[in-house]
């Protein structure tokens, strides 16, 4: 009914106003009592999709903070470029491995190599992601499957590979890069947007 819709809209506006007020108060509080930043110096940080974009910037950022950075990407050339750019900064604790994160056996194989050559990963960043910018009916079955495999399924393979050592040592962090597209779908987002929503849903305690 019309009355119900008006009440529902009013409730949503009130909820939004309360959320805005909360975040304003939180920001003011953090200006007075800032959060103490945790040092990542000495941590071993593995970033998937490190060959370009957000992954590359994360790799450079963590390296500048003194972490040992392990770059994973299916594109060996761009992945090595990220490693070389970090070395040009005077940071030598950086490694690059080609890995197709959708290939379960390859993930486990390369993860064992990382453990042997670098050590136990203490920060895992599942960043690799792809999208095909075209209508659903113009996407092939393989393209649809590829988006789901890279953006969602691959997270499970890296978790299975690196989480056990974190649990054993009671030390480690796992980050999953999502997108605003997880909350509001856009043009041609029929496959990509749900994949990012799945990443948010997968952020619960394991």
Question: Which active-site residues does the annotation give?
Answer: 192
Please state, in angstroms and rounded to a whole number, the distance separating the CA atoms of residues 178 and 54: 11
Q: Which of 187, 181, 188, 186 minimizes the C-alpha distance to 137?
A: 188
Q: What's the angle, vertex CA 195, arms to CA 190 and CA 196, rounded to 5?
A: 110
Q: How far is CA 141 from CA 98, 181, 188, in A?
A: 25, 22, 15
Residues forming beta bridges with residue 175, ordered by sequence position: 125
């Amino acid at each position: 009914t019309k009355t119900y819709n008006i009440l529902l809209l009013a409730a949503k506006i009130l909820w939004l106003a309360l959320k805005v007020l909360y975040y304003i108060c939180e920001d003011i509080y953090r200006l007075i009592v800032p959060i103490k930043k945790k040092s990542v110096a000495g941590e071993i940080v593995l970033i998937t999709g490190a060959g370009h974009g957000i992954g590359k910037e994360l790799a450079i950022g963590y390296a500048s903070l003194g972490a040992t950075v392990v770059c994973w990407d299916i594109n060996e050339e761009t992945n090595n470029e990220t490693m070389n750019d970090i070395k040009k900064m005077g940071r030598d604790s950086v490694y690059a491995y080609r890995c197709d994160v959708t290939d379960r056996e390859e993930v486990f194989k390369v993860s064992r190599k990382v453990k042997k050559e670098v050590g136990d990963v203490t920060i895992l960043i599942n960043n690799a992601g792809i999208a095909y910018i075209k209508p659903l009916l113009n996407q092939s079955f393989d393209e649809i499957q590829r988006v789901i495999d890279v953006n969602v399924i691959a997270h499970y393979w890296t978790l299975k590979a690196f989480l056990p050592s974190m649990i054993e040592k009671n030390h480690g962090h796992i980050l999953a890069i999502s997108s605003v597209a997880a909350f509001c779908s856009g043009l041609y987002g029929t496959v990509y947007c749900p994949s990012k929503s799945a990443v948010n849903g997968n952020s619960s305690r394991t």
